[in-house]
């Protein structure tokens, strides 16, 4: 009997090709579309239109799973609250753990699927995640908080293929392919159409001018409201009499002040992390760490004690923000990750 694979279908080219490839490989494929937002602007109808075309072409069944309440609670509210608290969120990491490889995986298992496949660019052998071959598309950073129990059920068929092959496969989808590729490229964060402040504005007054402080606490300028800034930002505030660029080093939501300093004040050598998700048992090890998506990997030493991690960097990093994720790598293998609490 053919093994069943549930494919998370977004209506985009990557997940459509994922479904097609798995069918060609001989799996019984079913699709599932997650309704993640309560949008009423035709967004879901449009995506479901693309999915219907692909499903008809492949002759597969697809489901619609409404996870909007769970998504609001676990991803959207966390996103808004983080900015209110002066930290920088990573909603895709939360979504992968709780929604896509939490609730969607549960749904796949309940429907008799042996695997859940998505169009993510990453690899897994059931025990670890690895970077995708195409490093410019790699999404292993965003997957590193997924519970290790989920890994044996995950499949990422795109990760071993070149983009040209994916396009070739896509073209075979014919009419469905043409419609999918007519739509805009998907955004970085699925619920942010423009900039993050447009979302925060719906929940808080973000335009509250305040004082810019130097590292000694002296008032040196003005800003537009602390929620407009993230660590490392260098524009949108004034610093009287400054000749060199100044960067945001700290946000103080309590008194709506921001602290700025020169480039060297962004330098950090030690990072404390919490809520770790580790794929190895070691409590002390050497590896490399990414402190932001797309940042370069920095060699480091890690010590884990009482569910907290202490990272000593071998070379300084700049502009590390509380709330972002530190992801550990050994070459292409993801060893685990934790949320950044402090950096100094």
Ligand X SMILES: Nc1ncnc2c1ncn2[C@@H]1O[C@H](COP(=O)(O)OP(=O)(O)OP(=O)(O)O)[C@@H](O)[C@H]1O
Which among 35, 34, 25, 36 has a CA at the least distance from the CA of 58?
25
Of 30-38, 198-206, 299-307, 313-321, the window that binds ligand X (rule: CB under 6 A) is 30-38
Please indicate whether residue 190 is annotated as part of the active site. Answer: yes
Using the minimum distance from each CB to ligand X, give the nearer residue, 162 or 235: 162
Dist. CA 42–CA 40, nearest whole Å = 6
Dist. CA 338–CA 68, nearest whole Å = 26
Phi, psi for 93 (deg, rounded to 5): -65, -45
Among 33, 62, 141, 226, binds ligand X (CB under 6 A): 33
Residue 85: both structure tokens together: 């608290």
Which among 144, 159, 171, 191 has a CA at the least distance from the CA of 43?
191
Which among 136, 33, 149, 143 has a CA at the least distance from the CA of 96?
143
Residue of minimal Cβ distance to ligand X: 12
| 34 CB-contact burial (10 Å; exposed 0-12 / middle 13-18 / buried 19+) | buried
> Is there a binding annotation on residue 34?
yes
Per the residue annotation, which of 92, 95, 287, 300 is the catalytic one? 95
Using the minimum distance from each CB to ligand X, give the nearer residue, 79 or 237: 79
Does 21 bind ligand X (CB under 6 A)? Our answer is no
Smallest separation (angstroms) from ligand X to the CB of 92: 7
Range 179-238, binding ligand X (CB under 6 A) = 186, 190
Range 110-169, binding ligand X (CB under 6 A) = 118-120
Among 22, 29, 36, 58, binds ligand X (CB under 6 A): 36
Dist. CA 37–CA 190, nearest whole Å = 9
Does 19 bind ligand X (CB under 6 A)? Our answer is no
> Is there a binding annotation on residue 12?
yes
What letter does residue 306 receive in the DSSP assignment? T
Dist. CA 17–CA 175, nearest whole Å = 14
Of 8-16, 169-177, 213-221, 302-310, the window that binds ligand X (rule: CB under 6 A) is 8-16
CB-CB contact of 15 with 122 (8 Å): no
Give the angle subtended at the CA of 212 by the CAs of 226 and 317, to the nearest 5°: 75
Dist. CA 295–CA 28, nearest whole Å = 39
Please indicate whether residue 300 is annotated as part of the active site. Answer: no
DSSP annotation string for 169-207: HHHTTTHHHHHHHHSPPPPSSTT-SS-HHHHHTTTS---
Total interface residues for ligand X by CB under 6 A? 18
> Is there a binding annotation on residue 9?
yes
Residue 53 CA: distances (Å) to CA of 25, 104, 190: 21, 22, 22
Among 6, 14, 154, 248, binds ligand X (CB under 6 A): 14
Of 3-11, 242-250, 305-313, 317-325, the window that binds ligand X (rule: CB under 6 A) is 3-11
> Is there a binding annotation on residue 13?
yes
Of 31-39, 76-84, 170-178, 301-309, the window that binds ligand X (rule: CB under 6 A) is 31-39
Does 9 bind ligand X (CB under 6 A)? Our answer is yes
Smallest separation (angstroms) from ligand X to the CB of 158: 8
Phi, psi for 308 (deg, rounded to 5): -120, 150
Binding residues for ATP: 8-15, 34, 119
Q: Where do contacts with ligand X occur on this chain (CB under 6 A)?
A: 8-10, 12-15, 18, 32-34, 36, 100, 118-120, 186, 190
Binding residues: 8-15, 34, 119
- Which are the catalytic amino acids? 95, 190
């Amino acid at each position: 009997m053919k093994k069943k694979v549930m494919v998370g279908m977004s209506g985009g080219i990557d997940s459509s090709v994922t479904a097609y490839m798995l069918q060609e490989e001989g799996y019984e494929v079913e699709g599932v579309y997650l309704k993640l937002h309560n949008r009423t602007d035709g967004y879901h109808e449009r995506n479901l239109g693309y999915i219907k075309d692909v499903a008809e072409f492949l002759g597969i069944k697809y489901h619609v799973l409404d996870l909007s309440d769970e998504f609001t609670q676990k991803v959207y509210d966390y996103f808004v609250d983080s900015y209110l608290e002066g930290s920088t969120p990573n909603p895709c990491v939360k979504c992968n753990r709780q929604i896509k490889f939490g609730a969607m995986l549960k749904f796949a298992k309940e429907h008799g699927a042996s695997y859940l496949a998505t169009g993510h660019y990453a690899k897994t052998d059931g025990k670890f995640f690895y970077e995708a071959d195409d490093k410019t598309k790699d999404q292993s950073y965003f997957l590193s908080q997924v519970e290790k129990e989920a890994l044996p059920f995950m499949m990422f068929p795109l990760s071993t293929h070149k983009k040209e092959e994916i396009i070739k496969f896509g073209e075979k989808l014919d009419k469905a392919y043409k419609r999918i590729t007519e739509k805009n490229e998907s955004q970085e964060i699925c619920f942010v159409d423009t900039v993050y402040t447009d979302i925060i504005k719906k929940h808080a007054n973000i335009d509250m001018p305040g004082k810019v402080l130097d590292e000694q606490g002296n008032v040196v300028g003005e800003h537009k409201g602390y929620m407009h800034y993230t660590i490392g930002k260098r524009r949108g505030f004034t610093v009287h009499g400054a000749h060199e660029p100044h960067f945001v080093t700290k946000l103080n939501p309590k008194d709506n002040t921001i602290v700025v300093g020169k480039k060297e004040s962004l330098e950090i050598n030690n990072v404390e992390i919490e809520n770790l998700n580790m794929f190895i048992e070691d409590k002390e090890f050497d590896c490399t760490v990414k402190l932001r998506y797309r940042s370069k990997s920095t060699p480091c030493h890690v010590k884990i004690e009482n569910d907290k991690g202490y990272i000593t960097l071998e070379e300084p990093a700049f502009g590390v923000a509380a709330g972002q994720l530190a992801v550990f790598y050994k070459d292409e293998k993801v060893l685990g990750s934790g949320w950044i609490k402090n950096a100094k």
